[in-house]
Chain A
């Protein structure tokens, strides 16, 4: 089935990328979706995510470091490898190309040439052979604007070889300096520099001991030293660690690995040490030094940008935010990430679904919408709502008395109903009359003792004959 990615361009939906089948049917990137559908009715589409594309390309470029130390991004959709002096390590250029294409894992076109501009032209316009004479390439390889290309073709210039035979001055006068610069770059007469990616060194530190150390406290002191060194390295690169891994190598070749995560990037050794001690406390089998530890390694497994902190003179606000984050980290390590949670709003109507509890490590403080003009909500919700026996008038009266946990409550004050419909749009066939699910009628009631409750009738009398009542919340 032909497939395409679609992106919004102003008012129109346009194809951003097409697969092989779609291309065979005459579809191309840039076409409007309506045109494409007219040509190819069974086209399957998905939204285009340009950022994810870029990320994937960056990841791929980082993986190419296995073949050469000089890797550059070649926008759009390209990666440039400078394989000078690398090919023999892989058994020749052909084997290297095979290896690279295999590692890339995608359908890829390649070009091999003496300079970057020529390689780019060969890969993109060389018809997939990858090598050959650049002078035989069509003039589109100059990547000029469409009207300039049309001008070249009208002049009868089809290949770069035709152009190269002409005097450059005339070309520059007619099609601009860029055309000449590109042509000379492809022919190798002008330089085509690349800006290689610089991959950051992983932050990994190791200490080896002349004699094994047998006390856990001593080992932890060494870890703290390593953390201080790592902090210095991270400070230089404006980084802060999010995940730290410590490996303790025992002299009998057993390894203990401790990993701690933080909610915010940190550099302070003390904060990480606190988390590590928490982790050690929660280990199911305690840290056993045995005959002692031979070596200790520390790795910062995940790091985020963390600018250097200025010392605040007037108030300690910044420091305070750190304290709270450190507390959340500490409790998350001790009790488990799922036990330290924050409330996050959800755009749903049903009260129990309008909010969610999310691990505090995974979420920054959510933005709650300003209270709308809706009837008040209780302070505590019962999860799940508890069934109660109710005496109420039919059809829409608030309860007069109800029995909860075996105790009878007389209702003195009541407000309602606040009608909350079922989420019919999530239900299969929910748009059909009568299939939407039960509507809830919420009442805010007060009993004789002065306690306020949130109670609802699950279903209207028109929806079902004997709707049940549930207690759903407690008001202060």
Chain B
């Protein structure tokens, strides 16, 4: 075993990159604070059962697991949301709603080596808005995410794609698909696999009306016109109601002049088991995979007590830092002036050093080797 070797998916942050990392985190946290979100710190180790409830079995199984002294299974936290939902249901059960909570914390997941998201330790910058639903809450977190991305210097190079799981769920609600077929259909739409989707629709004898709307769904990515197109091919009441809701949200985004930072993507059906309404992803020029995701999960707190509306998102701190670090490679001490203090006369020079520190200056003691 080589001492120099790191486990796959783990890394150091050193020098300029470590400073950049702190700056990005501070910026994000100050934006959260600016929207009245309160920071929470959750345990890095928790019961595996918590994450199974909070994330679902498949996702929870990506966690690093080990056993406690009493034999119960523990896990390095693979997400922060599960723990926050538990806080909302227990310690904060009687607190006035809405709860606005935010965090910056590393999460740990076992990843397939070959995939583009290779990190196994990744800091999540995230927030949860719990206890109040509706368009206003959805918009609040969308705008908050956009403000963070702008504040860290990604002004015009990001895109937040929005969807609502109600569109797809409406379309398939009377098809009576078993869970395996539903999952195949979901995956084919999510990967825009037009050819295999056509085969699926034929093999499963899907009625003609649903067939057309499902086949069109994969192409419904863009701005406002996407919603009009969708309306022309969908007949199911729930899907139509969801399109109205998305249109309301889009209307506000346009009126704020933010339509260049957002996109509607009705074919994004990746988080169906988790999200119950709005779902969104964050893409940034220069990174080949999503750097953040979020949405509404009104079912989440039901796993811990009574169901409450909840919406939130996470941004991958590590992906953002890596991108920003590639774009502007600053080096040195971050641009601050340093005063050297020599050590010929220890009392005199350390008095001088303390004086300068009181003034807030950056100093460097010249140690003789």
Say whether A and B bind each other: no
Q: What is the interface of chain A, defined by CB distance below 8 A to chain B?
A: none
Interface residues of chain B, those whose CB is within 8 Å of chain A, are: none
